[in-house]
Each structure stands twice: as C-alpha cells, then as structure tokens.
Amino acid sequence: MAHSDTLSRFRVRPAEPQDCPEILRLIKELAAYENMPDAVQLTEEEPKIVGFAMYYYTYDPWIGKLLYLEDFYVMDDYRGWGIGTELLKKLSQIALDTNCGCMHFLVVVWNKPSIEYYMRRGASDLSTEEGWHLFRFDKENLLRMAMGE
C-alpha cells in the first residue's frame, strides 16, 4: 500500500468528549513508552484513535503568545505512516492561525528518535543552543514558600 493511500485512512481532527476513553488509553500508552511503572496492556482490536496532541497557549514576554505542546504521541504500529507529520502540520496551522510566535515542547533526554525527528523538521534544542534549564517547584516547596519559610 502506498504511503499516501495509507495516510488517507486517517484524519486529524479536534478531540470530542466521546474520545476521552481512547485518549486516556493513548496517554497510558505514552506513559508506558516513557518507562512509567504502571504500563497498561492494550487489546488486539484495531483502535479508532492512533495518536494525539495535547496543547495549550502561554505567553513569553520576549516572544509573545506561543503554543505549548504538552503531549504528542502516535502508536508504535502507526509510526512511519505520516500521521505525526500531519499532526505537526495541523498544530503549526493552529499556532499560526492564533498568532503564536512559536511552539515549545519538552523531549526526554533518552528519546533520541523523537529528538532527531523534531530537529529534522527545524526544532531548536534550547538547552544546548540557548543554555536554558527547566526548573520545577513541587507542591511541598510551593506550600513551604507560600507559608514564608
């Protein structure tokens, strides 16, 4: 089957409330892919949804509005079919249509295939190119700081 024929079997669309069980399944599969201990086994039936992208908008004082890609995943059996490329195309269109100056996202350091995938498409690794480090205050430290400790 030709690449374009295979891709024509799929469509990129916004999620709907009835998609929640399928999206939850993909989120659990993504967690398993990222070596989380509570991985879920999938059934053999062909899924209706094979990938997803979860994003929101944020603001950077230097850049302006930006699209933040929180999660991006395509099931292993469906990789290489152009589905991820179509998702990125749609996300790029959404970002441009909503006046975003760029799209930010994180990739775990050991995930070389994804890093190479994004860099082939022109992504910049801000940790090496601009020297930025991502930090987090967990809830315990937020509480401690809020209490003035």
Q: Are 81 and 3 in contact (CB under 8 A)?
A: yes
Establish whether 118 is a catalytic residue. Answer: yes
Residue 65 and residue 98 in contact, taking contact as beta carbons nearer than 8 Å: yes
Structure tokens of 31? 């967690």
Do 101 and 64 contact (CB within 8 A), yes or no? yes
Query: CB 41: neighbour CB atoms within 10 A?
Result: 7
For residue 106 the two structure tokens come to: 């994180």
Q: Which helix (H) or strand (E) holds 20?
A: helix 20-33
Write the Ramachandran bin of 99: left for phi over 0, alpha for psi from -120 to 50, otherwise beta: left
Which residue of the set 59, 78, 117, 118 is catalytic?
Answer: 118
- Using DSSP, state whether 73 is helix, strand or coil: strand
Q: Report the catalytic residues.
A: 118
